[in-house]
Structure 1
Amino acid sequence: MSQNRDAERPGRVLLLHGPNLNLLGRREPGVYGTTTLADVNARCRDLGAELGLEVDARQSNHEGVLIDAVQEAMADFDAVVINPGGYTHTSVALRDALAALPVPVVEVHISNVHAREPFRHHSYVSPIATAVIAGAGVLGYELALRYCAARM
């Protein structure tokens, strides 16, 4: 259980979506599927409620906004589930913010990034993540929440 968590309240999970994930359902459906981000968030909130978790879902195309949300998680959340999108492969700043968290961090990728273009094979986030889920489609988010619930 997180040092931030009071046993009397539900576990709080920050669900962060990085750049271009607002286009889910429209962007490269052969790679990312047809489920929208709104659908993903609704499913995660519903599953979270079943698991005793409060899920706060956010998306930004801006690195600094994601970093601010991660820093907020230091005091207000018991776990972070993040799909960093393209920042997976480029953002040392986002990695450093996530590394400072005293709570579990689960990195999620809808596609199997290791079976795609070579530049997608490297993640700045994976080495500091508690768990990594890739290639399970949008089901990966649900798996991440189940993992978080088991850790709390």
Structure 2
Amino acid sequence: MAAHNITSMLDSVEPIPLSSRFAKLKRNMIACREKDVAESFYRLLRALRKEADDIAARGSDVIPTIDYFDIHDSAKASAFRKALRRRGVAVIRRVVPTTVAQAWKEETLDYIADNPQTRGYPPHDPQLFDLYWSPSQVRARADSRLLDAQRFAMRTW
């Protein structure tokens, strides 16, 4: 099995052409239901327009957020989970102190400097690294606060 890395995935964004068999399958699926499919599509467009307008009006406020210290407050947690289920994305703020997060970042950058074979993307100004098991990343994933926040979010589903 070939080695896999995120940078190679991000470099190839060309869609893979599908065979004509898929067009035939789609035609067969909607045969005699063209009106229903069109109505469904227009309902979808109206719903997307409404969501796009909401996002445009609210900006980043459309993404639910909660402070880590509020995840055990049942009223705040309930409202947050409801919004998370609706949006599918959320932010839990202040899970770890800024100084701890900055230390993890510095340790990771030092690790990258000490391991020049570590690939980054985009190549001209790397922001995303093909790196998963540096000591600071392992410590971060094992941090009790991060685990608590993950459990809280995952209990939503």
Relative to the length of structure 1, the TM-score reads 0.22
Relative to the length of structure 2, the TM-score reads 0.22
Relative to its length, the structure with more strand (as a share) is 1
Q: Which has the higher contact order (CA 8 A, sep 6+)?
A: 1
Structure of greater Rg: 2
